[in-house]
Amino acid sequence: MNKKLSKKDLKVWKDFIEGKEKLYNKDNINKDTKYKKKESTIDLHGFSLDQANRKIEKFITSCFEKKIEKLNIITGKGLRSKVEQNPYQSKDLGILKYSVPEFIKSNLELMRIIKKIEDNTENKNSGFFTLFLKIKE
């Protein structure tokens, strides 16, 4: 296949060879965070409700500042929770699986930076949920 190059193509090639401009290595695309969505995970196992709420508020704010877009929040399923033994605590509201998402939804400052919440609380086998943050400009 013989195809004659145009003068324009020859000039572009000559300018490239003589110049100091480097080609972007496409093999390194996975290493370049510019092309990857940033993601972070937090595990709230073992935290009390108050501790978990404080921790999650700091975590979300910190991730927003770092321009992290996707947050995986592990709350656990509540299977080992001793809430049922205490008549003064709510089974559904004492478990982090239910209470942490409610805390986030009721916090107007956090909701301003959250784009979407993928809540899995209706799934009994799910002990996590995902947040998608707006991109800080």
| Tens-binned pLDDT, residue by residue, of the chain (137 aa) | 567 878 888 888 888 788 776 665 555 555 544 545 689 999 998 888 899 999 999 999 999 999 999 999 998 865 555 555 554 444 544 578 888 999 999 999 999 999 999 976 566 567 889 999 998 77
For the chain, domain boundaries: 35-133
Q: How many CB atoms lie within 10 A of CB 126?
A: 13
Query: Quick check: pTM over 0.95?
Result: no
Of 132, 135, 119, 136, the closest CA to residue 39 belongs to 132
| CATH class of residue range 35-133 | alpha beta
Check residue 67 and report its DSSP letter.
T
Chain CA centroid to CA 126, Å? 18
Long-range contact set of residues 65-68: C-beta below 8 Å, sequence gap at least 24: 65/136, 66/38, 67/38, 67/135, 67/136, 68/38, 68/39, 68/40, 68/133
